[in-house]
Amino acid sequence: MRADSTKGSAAIEFAMVAPAFFLLLMGTMEAALIFFAQSTLQNAVNDAARLVRTGQTTCFTGSGSTCAAMTQAQFRTQICNEAGAILSDCNGASLQFDVNAYSAGFSGASDSSPLNSGGSLPPLTTFNTGSACEVVLVRAFYQWPVFTPMLNFFLANMAGNYHLLSTAAAFRNEPFTSGAAGC
């Protein structure tokens, strides 16, 4: 009778350890997914910022053949075309961005927090791609929902159990007009 007294002990030990193990496993997978989404968003913003830097936004053909300035909606579409596969609400309110030009140079650029006093992300509306040789700051923010229970204290950094993904690209526009010989 004593030889059979240890049967089932592995199952009981696993039942005691399994919740913590699976919680850590889910947390690790979610943290990896957040880092991947951050990298994807940064890449999309860098590619969209290149259009601004090279002056392609001043004469953006888009889907038509006429030359017109890129709109804020077209800029969002440009970002979503690259990052939309990982960002579930790319065309919704979860993705916010602003593009602002500074004629005073890099010292005039301001990278303040986009969050309001309540810890949420209000709509950002600035879209100024600037002219040749101006400094431009492109920022994008995405509200990533945290799914892993009990780890939102560690993963959420804004109100509503969201993790704020934030990216930025700061650069000086190229001399893309004929009158700007050099910057």
Average pLDDT score over the chain: 87
pLDDT band at 58 (very low <50, low <70, confident <90, very high): confident
Mean pLDDT for 19-38 is 93
At residue 178, the pLDDT reads 65
More confident residue, 112 or 179: 112
Taking alpha carbons only, the member of 39, 70, 45 closest to residue 168 is: 45
pLDDT band at 99 (very low <50, low <70, confident <90, very high): very high
pLDDT at 174 exceeding the cut of 80: yes
At residue 50, the pLDDT reads 95
pLDDT at 31 exceeding the cut of 70: yes
pLDDT at 62 exceeding the cut of 70: no
Calpha distance 139→120 (Å, rounded): 16
pTM, entire model = 0.84
pLDDT at 182 exceeding the cut of 70: no
CB 177 within 8 A of CB 55: yes
As a whole-number percent, the residues of the chain with pLDDT over 90 amount to: 49
Mean pLDDT for 152-172 is 91
At residue 100, the pLDDT reads 94
pLDDT band at 104 (very low <50, low <70, confident <90, very high): confident
Helices (H), 54-174: 72-83, 152-155
At residue 128, the pLDDT reads 93
Q: Where are the domains of the chain?
A: 8-172
The type of residue at 63 is S
Calpha distance 143→145 (Å, rounded): 6
Structure tokens at 70: 């890129």
Taking alpha carbons only, the member of 110, 90, 101, 102 closest to residue 165 is: 90
CB 132 within 8 A of CB 101: no
At residue 101, the pLDDT reads 93
